[in-house]
């Protein structure tokens, strides 16, 4: 069986452990031939190239600049993306016929590529819905449905609807995701939607008590404080202004310590706050390599998730998996539409509060300080094994493919 995977996420190499390489490698383990297409940016100064690892093949296509660039440049890149991917397929994957096309949002601008392969190979298509665009951009004020942005919004909205229409199956990250797209896209046949969440290889990466002490001493994390860690993107979707308000409320406390690790467009705001106040119980660090970050997270007590309160779409950040892997319970601070906090509470591996009340955040922290954190961490790891493993995710996709193929 030949699988074509399309993404705008940058995969540097086949050895990289990411949300997508984990699941693609699992398909390889199940006997499939996997061909992935991932972007190179113009600033990388590289031409298109292909790398191989057994039955896993990765085509890197130069698409122009997309990440960390202006809206106009990003828009131009998206508009030319499809033609460059199709050209790459014709040139580097010539003669290969695909049975299944996998693709994830963002972006929605893959419709022509999917349509081309479906028509050419009679392949089945499976959308792994990771984001709902362009509504997410509207929620954060980065795009408007009217005014000068109206043509852009409706262009991408039509692309989104076409993407749903061309997909034989749509795997959503949660029940909240399923409910949202059916409510706002009533033309979708509900029978082709299902929950297919973010997934990872399940490996126990938690630390022993001795290892935790050693790592805490290395990074000057107080041994007698409950350590909260936030790791990941620090951009507009995370509501950094509210995060800063929460940190300010906690500033100076000796019973809790906050470690923020990551990069993003809003990093400077946090850096400015830290330099101005020099808080003793808050530390900001740039993004670390995977191994070092996992050690830091494993030495902490609670993993935090922050999402902007303006979101009307349900988001399930993938950083949840990194917390579960090291057996950290989760404190989800999100909009009311996102159901990750409710999932964590129901699974007894975390807590939730809305991201518009510093008082609610403080109360949630107080709750964490007196709870059985180790027990909740164990619950989270067990929940991951049962629901968020790549084996579970692959079985969901393959079951849908076979059902569609038989039908």
Read off the pLDDT of residues 139-189 as tens digits, 9 standing for 90 and up. 998 888 988 878 888 988 998 999 999 999 999 999 999 999 999 999 999
| Euclidean distance between CA atoms 67 and 77, whole angstroms | 10
Examine the domain organization and report whether 147 and 28 are in the same domain. Answer: yes
Q: Is pLDDT above 60 for 406?
A: no
Examine the domain organization and report whether 240 and 155 are in the same domain. Answer: no
Examine the domain organization and report whether 182 and 325 are in the same domain. Answer: no
Question: Would you say 316 and 174 are in contact if contact means Cβ atoms under 8 Å apart?
Answer: yes
- β-sheet bridge partners, residue 227: 257
Total domains in the fold of the chain: 2
Average pLDDT, the chain: 92
Q: What does the DSSP assignment read for 16-28?
A: ---HHHHHHHHHH
Examine the domain organization and report whether 17 and 72 are in the same domain. Answer: yes
Quick one: which of 182, 184, 108 has its CA closest to 152?
Answer: 108
Average pLDDT over residues 98-107: 88
Question: Would you say 326 and 294 are in contact if contact means Cβ atoms under 8 Å apart?
Answer: yes
Examine the domain organization and report whether 114 and 216 are in the same domain. Answer: no
pLDDT digits (tens, 9 = 90+) for 233-251: 999 999 999 999 999 999 9
CA dist list (Å): 100 to 150, 173, 202, 319: 35, 20, 25, 28
pLDDT digits (tens, 9 = 90+) for 327-368: 999 999 999 999 999 999 999 999 999 999 999 999 999 999
Average pLDDT over residues 125-136: 92
Residue 104 CB: number of other CB atoms within 10 A?
22
pLDDT digits (tens, 9 = 90+) for 22-69: 999 999 999 999 999 999 888 877 888 999 989 999 999 998 877 777
Q: Is the dihedral of CA 32, 324, 340, 239 positive or negative?
A: negative
- The pLDDT value recorded for residue 74 is 75
Question: Would you say 383 and 328 are in contact if contact means Cβ atoms under 8 Å apart?
Answer: no
Residue 94 CB: number of other CB atoms within 10 A?
7
Examine the domain organization and report whether 218 and 355 are in the same domain. Answer: yes
Within 13 Å, how many C-alpha atoms sit on residue 94's CB side? 4
Q: Is the dihedral of CA 397, 399, 402, 404 positive or negative?
A: negative
Examine the domain organization and report whether 78 and 115 are in the same domain. Answer: yes
Examine the domain organization and report whether 266 and 215 are in the same domain. Answer: yes
Examine the domain organization and report whether 195 and 142 are in the same domain. Answer: yes
CATH number of the domain at 216, please.
3.40.50.2000
Q: Is 169 helix (H, G, I), strand (E, B) or coil?
A: strand
Examine the domain organization and report whether 288 and 345 are in the same domain. Answer: yes
Examine the domain organization and report whether 148 and 87 are in the same domain. Answer: yes
Count Cβ atoms within 10 A of the Cβ of residue 148 and give its class: 0-12 exposed, 13-18 middle, 19 or more buried.
exposed
Q: Output b/e per residue, 235-266; b: 16+ Cβ within 10 A.
A: bbbbbbebbbbbbeebeebeebbbbbbbebeb
Strands 282-285 and 256-263: parallel
Average pLDDT over residues 376-394: 96
- Helical spans, DSSP H, in 167-317: 175-184, 209-218, 240-250, 267-277, 290-299
Give pTM, 2 decimals.
0.90
Residue range(s) defining the domain that contains residue 373:
209-387
- The pLDDT value recorded for residue 41 is 86
Examine the domain organization and report whether 35 and 177 are in the same domain. Answer: yes
Under the banding of pLDDT at 50, 70 and 90, the label for residue 107 is low
pLDDT digits (tens, 9 = 90+) for 195-230: 999 999 999 999 999 999 999 999 999 999 999 999
């Amino acid at each position: 069986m030949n699988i074509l995977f399309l993404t705008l996420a940058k995969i540097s190499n086949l050895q990289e452990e990411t949300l997508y390489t984990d699941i693609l490698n699992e398909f390889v383990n199940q006997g499939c031939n996997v061909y992935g297409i991932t972007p190179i940016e113009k600033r990388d100064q590289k031409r298109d190239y292909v790398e191989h690892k057994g039955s896993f093949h990765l085509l890197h296509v130069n698409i122009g600049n997309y990440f960390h660039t202006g809206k106009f440049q990003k828009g131009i890149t998206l508009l030319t993306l499809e033609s460059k991917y199709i050209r790459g397929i014709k040139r580097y994957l010539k003669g290969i016929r695909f049975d299944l096309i996998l693709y994830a949002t963002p972006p929605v601008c893959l419709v022509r590529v999917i349509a081309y392969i479906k028509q050419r190979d009679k392949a089945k298509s499976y959308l792994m819905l990771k984001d709902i665009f362009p509504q997410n951009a509207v929620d954060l004020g980065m795009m408007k449905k009217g005014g000068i942005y109206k043509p852009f919004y409706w262009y991408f909205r039509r692309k989104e609807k076409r993407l749903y229409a061309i997909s034989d199956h749509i795997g959503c990250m949660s029940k909240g995701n399923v409910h949202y797209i059916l409510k706002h896209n009533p033309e979708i046949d509900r029978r082709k939607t299902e929950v297919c969440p973010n997934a990872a290889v399940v490996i126990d990466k938690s630390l022993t008590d001795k290892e935790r002490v050693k790592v805490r001493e290395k990074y000057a994390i107080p041994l007698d404080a409950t350590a909260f860690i936030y790791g990941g993107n620090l951009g507009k979707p995370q509501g950094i202004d509210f995060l800063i308000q929460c940190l300010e409320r906690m500033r100076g406390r000796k019973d809790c310590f906050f470690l923020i690790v990551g990069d993003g467009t809003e990093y400077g705001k946090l850096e400015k706050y830290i330099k101005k106040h020099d808080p003793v119980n808050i530390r900001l660090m740039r993004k670390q390599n995977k191994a070092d970050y996992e050690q830091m997270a494993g030495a902490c007590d609670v993993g935090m998730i922050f999402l902007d309160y303006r979101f009307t779409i349900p988001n399930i950040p993938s950083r949840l998996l990194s917390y579960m892997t090291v057996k950290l319970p989760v404190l989800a601070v999100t909009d009311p539409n996102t159901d990750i906090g409710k999932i964590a509470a129901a699974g007894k591996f975390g807590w939730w509060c809305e991201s518009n009340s510093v008082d609610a955040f403080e109360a949630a922290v107080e709750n964490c300080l007196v709870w059985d954190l180790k027990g909740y961490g164990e619950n989270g790891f067990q929940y991951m094994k049962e629901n968020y493993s790549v084996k579970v995710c692959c079985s969901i996709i393959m079951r849908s493919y076979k059902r569609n193929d038989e039908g």
